[in-house]
A and B are shown apart, each in its own frame.
Chain A
């Protein structure tokens, strides 16, 4: 049987796209399949503060013409309430047969995957972070550089987090800080030694947001619509790289093809899925790169292996808090970057570390805060109107081993994800909360008591590591090329194959790993 292609990539997210580019450039025939959902409602183009003040029909962005935001009132993240982002999240669990047991299971069927709605945080894993990985850091370095320069990251500066993030050599200048954040950074500089001694380090956030144009993508102008989607395409989304891939004759994208299973047919690798309403479409390939997102990938691989046991799923415990900067009480709202502006890292007991960022409150609907406080809506609104402008929102992540959950296949082929009972994570969070309260005071800010809220398990949407790369992989693990033990020719190139998940943002590392694996595949192909 003639094979449809050399390499079939499942998924058009950051991992899939990063794996595709080296392969396509080397002339291999690449077929990419994805869920294919696309934007239906384009995001606003005007400055956030302007359209909020003037646009009569703003309800369609804030609430939705079908009241999507109201339907999702119980959902864990404000992103899930953004009507124009519905296409990113919808139907994922249903189509991919993923079920969460007290665990938030979010994924995407959209072209570009979750990178259509992410926080854009980027970081390089250090040598320590990569200790569990079955290859040297040096082998990943070239990929980090390729990917960073390709997607455009910013935040370059000589600050205390330069080494922690390790990306400045390839970064554009940072997005300017707003006045609140500039004030906090100033204070940090004053009390730097004191804070460092307590294990607290502050610096600029490194984000995949452009400050210099790349191709059609324009640099950030701080219009503040980040939560709704960037109309300037300053924020990286893998969907923006698809046109470039399509310009190659040896690349095909088959959208709307949801893969149900990976199998062997007549000696070749094949994927079975549904497309255009038809149930049983089959495509064959020499190699399959699975990049459907950790949860979907896990289900596909475990099903193909017939794996009955449990796999450990790494997930970063996360928390959010509100910090008030008294100096700015009564100040006017100004246009602000909606994603992370300052980031911090702090040392906890047991050698663990936490990382977080702070955000302006402007680009988040105030209703999100009103519902949180145990005050009556009317008075909470009175207070927030006068108060929220002088606050920043912060988040915190712990290493993924502390939020461990488990994933297994159920009798009828669903992937069931359940949280594991482990108190270390919650104890560390309590410690985190105390340290942050102390340290932020030195920054001129007060962490509002009672605002520190630990997220639901899985709320980080950072899960990884179910099919980790190992030097000597067992069944259910992968080798240094992401090739699944027991499934020759099937490589896992997304978060599922990460061997460890530190507290840092992991997307850039996933992309770098995918790039690395693809380059190795090209080398092997050429030498063969």
Chain B
């Protein structure tokens, strides 16, 4: 497939995902992609030259766009470029997927939205697919998402618009997966596909999540009437940098609700919730591994581990165990002493059990390699009489014996856990 704009914010993810699934991808962009070994053809929307696409192309995904067209002349040229691509697609009998915008309307307030609409019409007339994504977020700090991230990073105080505008987010990786679905499947009818979180999210919640989950920082939100946003947009029209972001933002915040539920379902998409998508890794795995580490350490150390220990655990799992999480059930992460049920006493060549043992052994070694560990494992500093020592040993022995007694009852549960969690590790 050819991906125009393949070096852009969304394009980068689509290219990576498609290649990881084994598809042959040709990136069509002005500059060659940084990751050296992808196929590339130079493509500039504003060039008037011939467009030559390689033979055997099965689809064109048109992501290249000008997010802030200055005047209608530019808009027209973008339209011509799209038509050129459509022609090329027709000649090669390739699918054409156009990534438009939620703001696309014939009477859109921005030239951007209007241009998208006009291209959409051409694409639909030619029997192609049009995708209208909601507010795309996540992944690298680029595009509108990058500008918002930059803004949140810069200003400790942010506006909480009142009444809060609603947005419908979609994670960039979910959008990339959807685009590839459309390319690969033959049962999706051409037309407009609306892809976004069906339930809207308030823009303020979005910014809060951006601050706390992605940037790990606190921000103060001050209520600001929405009208001021429009006023600000007017004032900042002079400053090109802000202008495009403000305009796009304003147009996004002004939108009516997009009915995306049907299209999302038709494509079989499971859109990740905002809280998950806002994590730097884009998914919950890292957090799961952190919680897993905390549970294992608490079990061994009998106290909560320091942050540096937990981070070391995550690093160890990511570099040595492929970053897979054990998917421990909540009961075990909340009450680490229950890990005694899984530690020992469960036989089986269950891959999960042996992985658990490896991780427990690793956590034990890492826990020992700290001053707290020296206290816990070596008993230094300290000097005790025989009696307290004997009592402590006795208590440990009693606990061990008690667990052994209980194992016949507990074992079936552990087996269930190990089977259920196995899928997370493949």
Measuring CB to CB, which residues of chain A are less than 8 angstroms from any residue of chain B?
A: 49, 52-56, 58-59, 61-63, 66-67, 69-71, 73, 329-333, 362, 365-367, 370-371, 374-387, 389
Contact = CB atoms under 8 A, between A and B. Distances in A.
B182 to A, nearest CB: 42
Given A367-B365, A378-B299, A330 B397 contact: no
Interface in B253-272: none
A339 B369 CA distance: 21
Contacts, number: 138
Contact of A389 (B362, B371, B379, B399): B379
Nearest to A49: B380
Contact of A332 (B308, B343, B376, B382): B382
Interface stretch (B37-45, B49-57, B191-199, B383-391): B383-391
A67 B320 contact: yes
B366 A63 contact: yes
B312 interface: yes
Contacts of A56: 308, 370-371
B194 to A, nearest CB: 47
B396 interface: yes
Given A52-B371, A386-B392, A378 B337 contact: yes
Question: Which of B369, B379, B383 has the most chain A CB atoms closer than 10 A to its own CB?
Answer: B369
Nearest to A59: B369
Nearest to A385: B379
Contact of A379 (B316, B365, B389, B396): B396
Contact of B343 (A52, A61, A376, A382): A376
A294 to B, nearest CB: 31
A333 B380 contact: yes
Nearest to A390: B389
A386 B393 contact: yes
A54 B375 CA distance: 10
A234 B360 CA distance: 36
Question: Which of A62, A63, A366, A376 has the most chain B CB atoms closer than 10 A to its own CB?
Answer: A376
Contacts of B368: 62, 365-367
Question: Which of B316, B376, B396 has the most chain A CB atoms closer than 10 A to its own CB?
Answer: B396
Contacts of A367: 361, 364-365, 368, 377
Nearest to B385: A330
B234 interface: no
Contacts of B299: 377-378
B46 interface: no
10 contacts: A53-B381, A62-B368, A63-B366, A67-B316, A376-B343, A376-B344, A377-B299, A381-B376, A383-B397, A385-B376
A330 B385 CA distance: 5
Nearest to A333: B380
B344 A386 contact: no
A331 B383 contact: yes
Contacts of A67: 315-316, 319-320, 362
Contacts of A59: 312, 366, 369-370
Contact of B364 (A58, A71, A371, A375): A371
Contact of B340 (A69, A333, A376): A376
B371 A386 contact: no
Interface in B387-411: 388-390, 392-393, 395-397, 399-400, 403
B344 A330 contact: no
Query: Considering the complex of A and B, which 7 residue pairs feature the smallest CB-CB distances, nearest first?
Result: A62-B369, A382-B396, A52-B374, A366-B377, A332-B383, A59-B369, A379-B396
B297 to A, nearest CB: 11
Contacts of A54: 371
A29 to B, nearest CB: 48
Given A378-B337, A382-B302, 14 more contacts: A53-B380, A70-B366, A71-B320, A331-B383, A332-B380, A365-B368, A365-B377, A367-B364, A376-B344, A377-B343, A380-B396, A381-B377, A386-B389, A386-B393
Nearest to B319: A67
Question: Which of B308, B315, B386 has the most chain A CB atoms closer than 10 A to its own CB?
Answer: B386
Given A53-B374, A53-B380, A62-B368, A383 B396 contact: yes
A330 B369 contact: no
Given A377-B360, A378-B337, A53 B376 contact: no
A66 B365 CA distance: 14
A436 to B, nearest CB: 24
A340 to B, nearest CB: 21
Contacts of B358: 73
B378 interface: yes
B310 interface: no
Contacts of B233: none
Question: Which of A61, A383, A385 has the most chain B CB atoms closer than 10 A to its own CB?
Answer: A385
A330 B389 contact: yes
A329 B400 contact: no
Contact of B361 (A58, A73, A375, A384): A73
B228 to A, nearest CB: 49
Contacts of B403: 376
A55 to B, nearest CB: 7
A379 B340 CA distance: 9
B175 interface: no
A330 B384 contact: yes
A371 B343 CA distance: 11
B397 A70 contact: no
Contacts of B315: 67
Question: Which of B364, B381, B397 has the most chain A CB atoms closer than 10 A to its own CB?
Answer: B364
Nearest to B369: A62
A400 to B, nearest CB: 33
A332 B381 CA distance: 8
Nearest to B337: A378
A377 B298 CA distance: 12
A61 B365 CA distance: 11
A370 B376 contact: no
Given A56-B371, A66-B319, A73-B362, A379 B400 contact: yes
Interface in B89-133: none
Contacts of B369: 58-59, 61-63, 365
A371 B395 CA distance: 20
A376 B361 CA distance: 11
B300 interface: yes
Nearest to A389: B379
Interface string B328-351: 000000000101100111000000
A330 B396 contact: no
A384 B316 CA distance: 26
A386 B392 CA distance: 8
A71 B365 CA distance: 12
Contacts of A55: 371
B396 A377 contact: no
Given A56-B370, A333-B380, A386-B393, A378 B362 contact: no
Contacts of A387: 389, 393
Contacts of B383: 330-332
Contacts of A69: 365
Nearest to A67: B316
A362 B378 CA distance: 8
Contacts of B320: 67, 70-71
Nearest to B359: A70
A183 to B, nearest CB: 15
B364 to A, nearest CB: 5
Contacts of A374: 344
A62 B365 contact: yes
A322 B319 CA distance: 35
Contacts of A381: 300, 364, 376-377
A378 B378 contact: no
Contacts of A366: 368, 377-378
A367 B400 CA distance: 18
Given A67-B319, A73-B361, A73-B362, A379 B312 contact: no
Nearest to A374: B344
A362 B365 CA distance: 15
A382 B392 contact: yes
